[in-house]
Amino acid sequence: MAVELKFLSGVFWLFLPAAFANMAPVFFKRLPFLAVPMDFGRSLAGKRIFGDNKTWRGLFSGVLISLAVIEIQIWLYPFSSRIAIIDYGDKNIIWLGLALGVGAILGDAIESFIKRRLNISPGKNFPIADQIDWILGAMLLSSLFYSWSPKIWLEAILMFGLLHPLANIVGYFLRLKPNKL
């Protein structure tokens, strides 16, 4: 039981930069800086590529927050090494932070692309995909630097897939998000 809790804590700690990257656009949405859609308003086959909600501001804020979180993890590594799955003392660890942030935001953008193709309006719930798009993107891109075991993949998808709706509810009650899901 203690070993499993240590592993779950390690998975949570590992993908924390991606989780914060995924939340960052909500916190920065009121800043006018880079509030330009990533698709520049373009369409593909008569449908927006991503939509107005996927902005360059969201991409950059997500990546910056992810990098800030991994810097904090590097600083805290002497205290968190018991649960860490990777060595945060590695000189190239910053690349992991970059991959987790970019992967989380791009995973969400790809899911928006799919929603546009399926005629699902921006902001409308797309069950399961809305909960795991960002973690899949983060895991895939970070796989360029680390080889994640199937157990890590499964635990991260389940853990963050279940935590994502809870974060949305908190964001809704803090008036940061327009809907609970």
Q: Give me the chain's average pLDDT, please.
A: 91
Residue 150's pLDDT is what? 95
pLDDT tens-digit series, residues 110-154: 999 999 999 998 888 898 898 899 999 999 999 998 999 999 999
pLDDT tens-digit series, residues 158-172: 999 888 777 767 767
Q: Furthest-apart CA pair in the chain: how many Å? A: 53
Which DSSP state fits 147?
A: -
Query: Can you say whether the dihedral through the CA atoms of 33, 39, 40, 43 is positive or negative?
Result: negative
Would you place residue 175 in the very low, low, confident or very high pLDDT band (cuts 50, 70, 90)?
confident
Strand 43-44, strand 47-48: pairing: antiparallel
Residue 179's pLDDT is what? 67
pTM for the full model? 0.90
Residue 141's pLDDT is what? 97
Question: Concatenated DSSP letters for 28-73?
Answer: HTT--TT--BTTTT-EETTEESS-TTSBHHHHHHHHHHHHHHHHHH
pLDDT tens-digit series, residues 33-54: 899 999 999 999 999 999 999 9
pLDDT tens-digit series, residues 65-83: 999 999 999 999 999 999 9
